[in-house]
Amino acid sequence: DSGVPGSTTYPTPSARQEDKRNFLDLSYHKDLKGGARLLARTFIEEYDICYKNPEAWDGPMKDTTENLLGGVQVQYSLPWGKHLPTAGLELKQDQVRVTTIDGTSRIGGPRKLGTVSLYLQDEINLSPRLTLVPGLRYDNPSAYASQCSPRVSLLYFLGENTRLRASYGQAFRPPTVNDLYWHEDWGGGMVFFGNEDLKPEKSRGYELGLEHKFSLPLLARASWFDRKTDGLISWVEISPGHWQA
């Protein structure tokens, strides 16, 4: 429970915001024959926000945001010679409901977004000092076209306590429900709108890192990275007081 000033154009000391977060995360690990390993996981997270402003310029205001995120994951790995292949499946669903004091939805009713993901990875011991880790992830969001994201990393041990890591990867992030459908008018010229025409942002990045372990309590790391993003999703002020994703 926190005090918030309300609109920047019409602040008030009476505005309050209540945040409530509940989550449950259950994991199951099982070592199988031949060094195989199974992971099963399920999770659910509830995040609610209630904003009240009894002194809003156009009358008492109460906005309630209810966000429910849930999913399951299954992962299996099996050593094979110099390889350690891993395969996994993820299912996620995000459900959001945003209502005003009179029960009107700010996002056009309850909204749901789901994603089905598959991923493959292999750890290849090229030598006692060198390990190659290629991987591929396939995401199939309910509201967008599917996407494949490759990644590869290389790990080299310079010594017993020193290692060098290099990696390259691609990724993408679909818009959230709020990015797509949010609609809010605070009055006084302050408005916020989602954008249903948004597309997933795509990125690619390089990273180079050096790590050295001096002793058990002391570890030093240095990293350089470069990341480029196409179609970055952010909220911007397109005109005075008008914000849009």
Enumerate domains of the chain plus CATH numbers.
Answer: 2-244 (2.40.170.20)
Query: pLDDT tens digits, residue range 124-176?
Result: 999 999 999 999 999 999 988 899 999 999 999 998 899 999 999 999 888 88
pLDDT-derived band of residue 106, with 50, 70 and 90 as boundaries?
confident
Spell out the alpha helix ranges (H) of 146-217.
Answer: 177-181
User: What percent of the chain is predicted at pLDDT more than 90?
Assistant: 51
Q: What is the pLDDT of residue 240?
A: 80
Give the span between the Cα atoms of 155 and 143, in whole angstroms. 37
Residue 188 has pLDDT above 80, yes or no: no
Is 59 exposed, middle or buried, given 0-12, 13-18 or 19+ CB atoms closer than 10 A?
exposed
pLDDT of residue 203: 95
Q: Between residues 13 and 83, which one has the greater pLDDT? A: 83
Q: How far apart are CA 200 and CA 144, in angstroms?
A: 8
Query: Contact 88/116 with Cβ under 8 angstroms?
Result: no
- Better pLDDT: 11 or 119: 119
- As a whole number, mean pLDDT of residues 105-133 equals 93
Amino acid 11: pLDDT = 66
The model's pLDDT over 27-80, given as tens digits with 9 standing for 90+, comes to 999 999 999 999 999 999 998 888 887 877 677 878 888 889 999 999 999 999
**Exposed/middle/buried for residue 220 (C-beta within 10 Å: 0-12, 13-18, 19+):** exposed
Is the pLDDT at 222 greater than 90? The verdict is: yes
- The pLDDT > 70 percentage for the chain reads 92
Residue 56, token pair as written in the block: 């809003």
Looking at residue 85, its pLDDT comes to 97
Which of the two residues, 13 and 25, has the higher pLDDT score? 25
Amino acid 136: pLDDT: 98
pLDDT of residue 195: 87
Contact partners, residue 51, CB within 8 Å, separation at least 6: 4, 15, 16, 17, 61, 62, 63, 64
Residue 189's pLDDT is 65
